[in-house]
Copies of this chain bind each other. A is one copy, B any other.
Amino acid sequence: LANDNPANQLHVATRMKDAKFIMMDTMNLWIDQFLDGVLEVLKVVDGIVLNDEEARSLGGSSNLIASMRKIATMGPRCVLVKKGEHGSIILFEGRFFALPAYPLEVVHDPTGAGDTFAAGVMGHLARRGIVDLATLKVAMAYGTVVASYNVEAFGLERLKTLEWGDIEARFGEFLRFVALDI
């Protein structure tokens, strides 16, 4: 459920009877001015993806971890937070997991990085047909990789020419980047 008026999101969500896993996006506008609507949508979705500022606002604490736990009590079993250059963190059924961002020396245009990340996550989940923490971790790694390509050029320029080989190559590099054992 892309970022939209919560009324529209609820309208769509309640009609997706066969959906295995519904993830919602939102933004500060809805959190600040239509909180009741956001809370209604949160009760019918499986997950929410938002940035760290939005998460602190919705969760009501300057502490991101506390805010994520608070959001989880509002309904969704998956709370996924994007932190830009600092990576991402998820709370799924009581367990946390975090990934750094892919290290890039040049960022041309960060616009759309968060949406690209979320799309990469959902794409991997759709491909696997499973939603568990192990699959979500790999999905976050794919989301991180696709988002890193997105910021390398203006708008969608880099994504337009992106091929599977590019994604898999950087996915391998990213796994080496985050591996505690070499």
Chain A interface residues toward B at CB < 8 A: 63-66, 69, 83, 85-87, 89, 96-100, 103-107, 133-134, 137-138, 141, 175, 177-182
Which of B86, B106, B175 is in CB contact (< 8 Å) with A180?
A: B175
Give Cα A180 to B99, complex, Å: 9
Contact B96 A180 (CB under 8 A): no
Q: Contacts of A179 on B, CB cut-off 8 Å?
A: 180
Count of identical protomers in the assembly: 2
Give the secondary structure class of A's interface: mixed
Residue of B nearest to A87 (CB): B100
Give Cα A155 to B52, complex, Å: 28
Give Cα A99 to B87, complex, Å: 10
